[in-house]
Amino acid sequence: MKEQERRAETENDQAMKLSPDEDLMLEVRNGAGETLGVLFDRYHAPLYNFYSKLTGDRTLSDDLVQEVFLRILKYRQSYQPGTPFRAWIYQIARNARVDHYRKTPRHITFEPHMVAPVMPKDSAQQLEETELLHRALMQMPEEKREILVLSRFQELRYEEIARLLGCELGTVKTRIHRAVQELRQNFKQLERGLAPREAAPAVVKTIPPRRFGNDM
Amino acid sequence: MTCEEIGELLPDYFEGSLKAPQDDLVERHIEECADCREEVAIWKKLSLLPVEQPSAGSRERFEAMLDAYQTGRNDKASAGFVPEKRRSAWNWLRSPAGAVAWSAALLVMGIFAGNYWGSRTTHSNAGQDEIAAMQIELTNMKQLVVLSMLQQQSAGERLQAVSYSRREDQLDPQVMSALVHTLRYDGSVDVRLAALDALSRHGAQPQVHKGVVDALQEQQSPLVQVALIDLMVEWRDPDAAQRLRNFVQTPNLNPTVRQRADWALSKLN
Ligand SMILES: [Zn+2]
């Protein structure tokens, strides 16, 4: 390859890395499948977090992320110029999850090792709090948890969430408020039940059974 | 202000988008009201939950999928012309496993095209068919990923490929052949064991059944031999006894394996 061409290619790569999602998606739509790699790099970790916080299942989360990108290829012709890409991809992500549950009966999983990896700066108390919080979150019905995950972890703006869920902005706010209230109740209950943890049957009952490594 | 009124403002307060007078109202309220204060606190605490990392093979899996898809498209458009970048994929496609993947890719393309034209003509009742066709397409594409990753240099990736195959309820005959091939010839014992495990669920398929039973004679690893013997007992294979009797004649057989085979024979008789 000539030096000039190589330089042009590098510049092109760099330009691609700075391009807005929407421009990249239009390229994918027009047949440049390899451009999808840049979008994969931008979105696969956030999507993975969306799924893992929602389902508590790592293997499933990995699979669903792949499914999303497969669907983007499949549906690329339906991407309309001017559509915010973030909204579009989360729409696909939600549909992929719904379809998965349609095919496979829902069972909630709770993987103990998913809870807060130990970080040196964590104090013992903070670790405990994080674990309680995670449990409190996982106790919520998935539909309610979703709105918290979208707003708090995916950092979607309320307007984006409203469009995604197909409801009014005010409804989104009300639902967030209710979800936070419920989370707080769950958290307090767990905190109270902490002394002998088994002493809180209502809580223990809602913690899904542990699942052992079944990947291989 | 009541808690209810404050509650309406809280989501905007969380987001930091509340403007001056209301912002102060909320702050003053939460200083006095423990309930609302706790609500704000729990929202803030959510940031303590760790960001989780996708599994390490995520990018490779994506690339295998993209490659399978791209090769199908490019080749349809320009038979004969192979760009430099795609050469390795092209070589792979000319291998036997590649060839089957390739025909699967063409099938995918066929479904895609059919779907596209179909949707133009029969708008009204296409919905169900389209969903069904899409399921087939997605399944095929996933199986292409398995096929492609089974060809990888690193045992870790081949192991991943086998584990992906386990997540499909039904496997293409090509994927089953590839798994049987892996069981027989893969250089890594771990990968061979994983392949056997994946195949064990498809014993009802004659092709799988034969491939697994045939594999016993040529395996060198005692671990795989024992696993194969166990599976033959589990399947109650009609020729199992005869095959095991031949097998125990093998010179220099590992004593543990011989013991297992004797045990299996006693079970089968
Ligand atoms: Zn209050």
Q: Which residues of B6-28 are buried (b: 16+ CB within 10 A; e: fewer)?
A: bbbbbbbbbbeebeeeeeebbee
- Cβ-based neighbour number of residue B115 at 10 Å: 18
Q: Is A90 exposed, middle or buried (0-12, 13-18, 19+ CB in 10 A)?
A: buried
Report the pLDDT value the prediction gives residue B6, as an integer from 0 to 100. Answer: 92
d(C-alpha A17, C-alpha B63), whole Å: 18
AA letter at A17: K
Average pLDDT of chain B is 78
**pLDDT tens track for B109-158:** 444 443 433 333 334 455 556 656 666 676 777 788 888 888 888 888 88
Cβ neighbourhood burial of B202 (10 Å; 0-12, 13-18, 19+): buried
Whether the per-residue pLDDT at A216 is higher than 50: the answer is: no
- Measure in Å the smallest separation between the Cα of A143 and chain B Cα atoms: 18
The chain A residue lying nearest B135, using CA atoms, is A99
Cβ contact B213:B244 at 8 Å: no
Residues A72 and A92: beta-carbon distance below 8 Å: yes
- Other Cβ atoms less than 10 A from the Cβ of B94: the count is 9
Res. A107: pLDDT tops 60: no
Cβ separation B54–A61 shorter than 8 A: yes
The pLDDT assigned to B166 comes to 82
Residue A169, token pair as written in the block? 């902005």
Under DSSP, the state recorded for B96 is: H
Give the closest of B11, B116, B134 to A173, CB-based.
B11
Does the pLDDT value for residue A111 go beyond 70? no
pLDDT at A120 over 90: no
Query: Which of A180, A183, A187, A192 would you mutate first to test chain B, the one with the most B CBs within 10 A?
Result: A180
Q: What is the DSSP string of B9-56?
A: HHHHHHHT---HHHHHHHHHHHHH-HHHHHHHHHHHHGGGSPPPPPPT
Q: What is the pLDDT of residues A25-73, one digit of tens each?
A: 999 998 888 899 999 999 999 999 999 999 989 999 999 999 999 889 8
CA angle A16, B66, A65 (to 5 degrees): 90
Residue A42 CB burial class (10 angstroms; 0-12, 13-18, ≥19): middle
Question: Between A189 and B86, whose confidence is greater?
Answer: A189
Contacts of A67 in chain B (CB under 8 A): 138
Question: Greater confidence, A213 or B205?
Answer: B205
Pick the range with the lowest mean pLDDT from A67-71, A74-78, B185-189. Answer: A74-78
- The confidence score (pLDDT) of residue A38 equals 94
Q: Is A131 on the interface with B (CB under 8 A)?
A: no
| pTM of the entire predicted model | 0.64
Tell me which residues of chain B have a C-beta less than 8 Å from any C-beta of chain A: 7-8, 10-12, 14-15, 38-39, 42-43, 45-55, 58-59, 61-63, 65-66, 69-70, 73, 112, 116, 134, 137-138, 141-142, 145, 159, 163, 167, 194, 197
pLDDT of residue B45: 92
Neighbours of B65 (CB within 10 A): 23
* Residue to test with chain A: of B49, B136, B144, most A Cβ within 10 A: B49
Domains of chain A: 15-103 (1.10.1740.10), 122-197 (1.10.10.10)
Phi, psi of A34 (to 5 degrees): -65, -25
Determine the Cα–Cα distance for residues B269 and B260; give it in Å rounded to an integer: 14
> To which residue do tokens 């007078």 refer?
B21
A151 chain-B contacts, CB cut-off 8 A? 11, 14-15
Tokens linked to A116: 């807060």
Torsion of CA B158, B164, B170, B171, to 10 degrees: -20
Residue type for position A24: L
Q: At a CB cut-off of 8 Å and minimum separation 6, what does A36 contact?
A: A24, A28, A69, A72, A73, B66
**Residue A86 — pLDDT band, cuts 50, 70, 90?**
very high
State the smallest CA–CA distance between residue A183 and chain B in angstroms: 8
Are the CB atoms for B213 and B237 separated by under 8 Å?
A: yes
CB contact under 8 A, B49 and A61: no
- For residue B237, give both structure tokens: 């294979």
DSSP assignment, residue A110?
B
Mean pLDDT estimate for chain A: 79
pLDDT band at A173 (very low <50, low <70, confident <90, very high): very high
How many Cβ pairs closer than 8 A exist between chain A and B? 122
Both structure tokens of A192: 């109270």
Q: Are B216 and B228 in contact (CB under 8 A)?
A: yes
ipTM: 0.76
B190/B211 Cα distance (integer angstroms): 18
pLDDT digits (tens, 9 = 90+) for B34-71: 999 999 999 999 988 988 899 888 998 898 888 877 76
Sign of the torsion angle spanned by Cα atoms B163, B168, B174, B179: positive
Chain B interface includes A162 (CB < 8 A) = no
Q: Which residue of B has its CA nearest to A56?
A: B52
Q: What percent of chain B has pLDDT over 90?
A: 24
Q: What pLDDT, on the 0 to 100 scale, is given for residue A147?
A: 94
**pLDDT for res A91:** 92
Alpha helices in B122-172 (DSSP H): 126-149, 155-165
Instruction: Report how far residue B212's alpha carbon sits from residue B208's, in angstroms, rounded to the nearest whole number.
Output: 6
pLDDT value of position A112: 44
Average confidence (pLDDT) over A205-209: 38
When computed from its CA atoms, the radius of gyration of chain B, rounded to whole angstroms, is 29
Residue type, B27: E
